[in-house]
Amino acid sequence: MSQKPKSRGRPSSQVEREPGGGGEEAPSTSRGPGGAASQRRAQASPAPGPRSQKQLELKVAELVQFLLIKDQRKIPIRRTDILRHVVGDYKDVLPELLRRAAERLEYVFGYRLVELEPRSNTYILVNTLEPVEEDAEMRGDQGTPTTGLLMIVLGLIFMKGNSIKETEVWDFLRRLGVHPTKKHLIFGDPKKLITEDFVRQRYLDYRRIPHTDPVDYELQWGPRTNLETSKMKVLKFVAKIHHQDPKDWPAQYCEALADEEARARPQPAGPSPATAPAPTLSPVS
Amino acid sequence: MQGNTRRTGVMTDVHRRFLQLLMTHGVLEECDVKRLQKHCYKVHDCNATVEKLEDFINTINSVLESLYIEIKKGVTEDDGRPIYALVNLATTSVSKMASDFAENELDLFRKALELIIDSDTGFASSTNILNLVDQLKGKKMRKKEAEHVLQKFVQNKWLIEKEGEFTLHGRAILEMDQYIRETYPDAVKVCNICRSLLIQGQSCETCGIRMHLPCVAKYFQSSSEPHCPHCNDYWPHEVPEVFDPEKERETGMSRSNKRPSRSRQH
């Protein structure tokens, strides 16, 4: 990943320019005086005076709840939406609010607030607790069977040199009884799941390969995947399926090892609450 | 949250995993909460002594306090089974559902809620709810879709369905207590015994006071001739049994069969 050395400023002027859509589905967590009506005041308000600790605490609480609710859908949370739906006229203290919310999320819930990519102004929550197999049982029917399919696709991409043609993915999945155009009992619409849902959640990148006729697309790992899991974890998952050892694929093993080492190195310090996150994408279920 | 200064407990990964998993459910019955607690100890710290559930939850609540979130304990309105829900104290509760539901779906919930609150029995028939789909805000919804949405509310434990009629799930009552009191101050009913919100229960035919079924069960537990606690007139309803977790364990899975029938409630 290309990490630009430039420090992240506060790009407050860019924030409002983001393309519309998505905003209307966000919940309002602001209550208090004004309630929902105060949401849109965020942009134009003049710099207000200092707030009491109590006011800040309430804002942090709202922000934490907003992030928890939004994360349930696994769709990255945009800074614009945070500003519009929660922060309102507390915009000047946004970094402080984010810092305190990140601290609470990690201490109380075990979630790390991470910026998806440097300067992307989108955030996700990464679980610091290792998933265990019995968690799925504890979740009852609320588990996520789609994670298994995602892991298979991630494995496929990694084993094929970090990029794969969509047609190859379907050739492989067809052998497992998953067809792009046929409704699947568990995965519903597999084509939509892989090329839309996982893409929107940023587990996968999906782009058209230029100059192909008929048109073909390629799939790569998205930024969320690198935050929630690692090459080594995915390789181990693949090895387990094949009842083999990760070292049976020397090229991939070396690459995964190098990736582990790079992760272990301390990250360049930045104002973002993102630090080396623990992998959470579970190979189970 | 009641203003008493509680000492802030120390969170460990056991508490965190518990909280994460409770959050995915929204609400759990006590036996499942205990199972969940045991599971979390097993994952993180086999040797630690398992904290008493009450203390364990108090610890979590002490750190949730500053976030205006609380694990609240309640009981199901029909048979008094203890439940725990993660509720939100700072924001309007319908907004919590807003991330899962579209505007017209939320409005359908509000309409159903209104019918339930206004009804005498605490139930609204699906026919009556579905008759209101033409008035919904947002995108137009067909009756077939509305039926599907109602089922989604049931799955997410906001509503309970019995024989084609809907009432509020204990989760919704815990979560929306304040919202309901504020929004429907004239229609809202309160239990004469525990003073908390009442959706379904029994009522005195003379003076009209209402009681939760579990409260009725406890209040009349040892009286052979039940009388209204308010006007002292004869209590004309069947008195249900007090919920007993021990007995529950023996009967095991038969819980769906032993729901009291609604005909004797009022």
Q: What are the structural domains of chain A?
A: 53-127 (1.10.10.1200), 142-229 (1.10.10.1210)
Determine which helix (DSSP H) or strand (DSSP E) holds B143, and give its type and residue range: helix B143-155
Q: Provide the pLDDT for residue A284.
A: 42
Q: Compute how many other C-beta atoms are within 10 angstroms of the C-beta atom of residue A80.
A: 21
Confidence bin at B6 (pLDDT 50/70/90): low
The alpha-carbon radius of gyration of chain A (Å, integer) is: 21
Q: Given its phi and psi angles, is residue A45 left (phi above 0), alpha (psi -120 to 50 degrees) or beta?
A: beta
Higher pLDDT, B253 or B84: B84
Average pLDDT along chain A: 79
SS3 category, A166: helix
The chain B residue lying nearest A140, using CA atoms, is B25
Residues in chain A within 8 Å Cβ distance of B23: 68, 109
Q: Are A85 and A27 in contact (CB under 8 A)?
A: yes
Determine which helix (DSSP H) or strand (DSSP E) holds B210, and give its type and residue range: strand B210-211
Rounded to an integer, what distance in angstroms lies between the CA atom of residue B213 and that of residue B262? 11
Is the overall model pTM greater than 0.90, yes or no? Answer: no
Confidence bin at B266 (pLDDT 50/70/90): very low
Paired strand residues for A125: A113
Q: Is B154 on the interface with A (CB under 8 A)?
A: no
E strands within chain A? Answer: 77-78, 111-115, 122-127, 164-165, 204-208, 217-221
Roughly what angle, to the nearest 10 degrees, separates helices B53-64 and B13-25?
80
Confidence bin at B261 (pLDDT 50/70/90): very low
The arithmetic mean of pLDDT across residues B216-226, rounded, is 90
Q: Given its phi and psi angles, is residue B263 left (phi above 0), alpha (psi -120 to 50 degrees) or beta?
A: alpha
Paired strand residues for B72: B85
The arithmetic mean of pLDDT across residues A196-216, rounded, is 92
Rounded to an integer, what distance in angstroms lies between the CA atom of residue A147 and that of residue A280? 11
Q: Is B67 on the interface with A (CB under 8 A)?
A: yes
Q: Provide the pLDDT for residue B70.
A: 94
Rounded to an integer, what distance in angstroms lies between the CA atom of residue B166 and that of residue B108? 13
Q: Are A272 and A8 in contact (CB under 8 A)?
A: yes
Res A3 pLDDT > 80? no
The side-by-side arrangement of strands in the sheet containing A122-127 is A77-78, A122-127, A111-115
Rounded to an integer, what distance in angstroms lies between the CA atom of residue B87 and that of residue B23? 10
Q: Provide the pLDDT for residue A49.
A: 66
Which pair of structure tokens corresponds to residue A174? 């067809």
List the one residue out of B239, B210, B212 whose CA is nearest residue B223. B239
Inter-chain touch B91–A62, beta carbons under 8 Å = yes
Confidence bin at B36 (pLDDT 50/70/90): very high
Higher pLDDT, B113 or A133: B113
When CB atoms are compared, the residue of A29, A70, A108 closest to B95 is A29
Q: Are B89 and B95 in contact (CB under 8 A)?
A: no
Q: Are B99 and B181 in contact (CB under 8 A)?
A: no
Res B76 pLDDT > 50? yes
- Please, which residues have CB within 8 angstroms of residue A282's CB and are 6 or more apart in sequence? A131, A135, A147
Name the amino acid, one letter, at B96. Answer: K
Q: Provide the pLDDT for residue A145.
A: 75
Rounded to an integer, what distance in angstroms lies between the CA atom of residue A239 and that of residue A245? 5
pLDDT digits (tens, 9 = 90+) for B136-188: 988 899 999 999 999 999 998 999 999 999 999 999 999 888 889 989 999 99
Q: Provide the pLDDT for residue B130.
A: 94
φ/ψ of residue B237, rounded to 5? -105, 160
Which pair of structure tokens corresponds to residue A91? 């915009």
Res B14 pLDDT > 90? yes
Paired strand residues for B88: B69
What is the residue-wise DSSP string for A39-66? GGGGTTPPPP-PPPHHHHHHHHHHHHHH
Res B255 pLDDT > 70? no
CA distance A70 to chain B (A): 7
Domains in chain B, ordered, with CATH? 13-67 (3.90.1150.220), 94-184 (1.10.10.10), 188-245 (3.30.40.10)
The chain B residue lying nearest A100, using CA atoms, is B67
pLDDT digits (tens, 9 = 90+) for A43-85: 444 455 678 888 898 889 989 988 998 888 888 999 998 998 8
Rounded to an integer, what distance in angstroms lies between the CA atom of residue A28 and that of residue A44? 19
Chains A, B: CB pairs < 8 Å: 93
Alpha helices, H only, A75-186: 79-82, 94-104, 133-138, 146-159, 166-175
CA atoms within 13 A on the CB side of A262: 12
Residues in chain B within 8 Å Cβ distance of A28: 91-92, 95, 98
pLDDT digits (tens, 9 = 90+) for A234-279: 999 999 999 999 999 999 999 999 999 998 886 654 444 444 444 4
Q: Provide the pLDDT for residue B7.
A: 72
The arithmetic mean of pLDDT across residues B120-131, rounded, is 94
Q: Are B192 and B239 in contact (CB under 8 A)?
A: no
Res B97 pLDDT > 70? no
Res A141 pLDDT > 70? no
Q: Are B141 and B133 in contact (CB under 8 A)?
A: yes
Which site among A71, A108, A125 would you substitute to test the B interface, given the most B Cβ atoms closer than 10 Å to its Cβ?
Answer: A108
Inter-chain touch A107–B63, beta carbons under 8 Å = yes
Q: Provide the pLDDT for residue A276.
A: 41
The arithmetic mean of pLDDT across residues A190-216, rounded, is 93
> Exposed, middle or buried, A262 (CB in 10 Å: 0-12/13-18/19+)?
exposed
Which pair of structure tokens corresponds to residue A182? 């046929």
φ/ψ of residue A242, rounded to 5? -85, 0
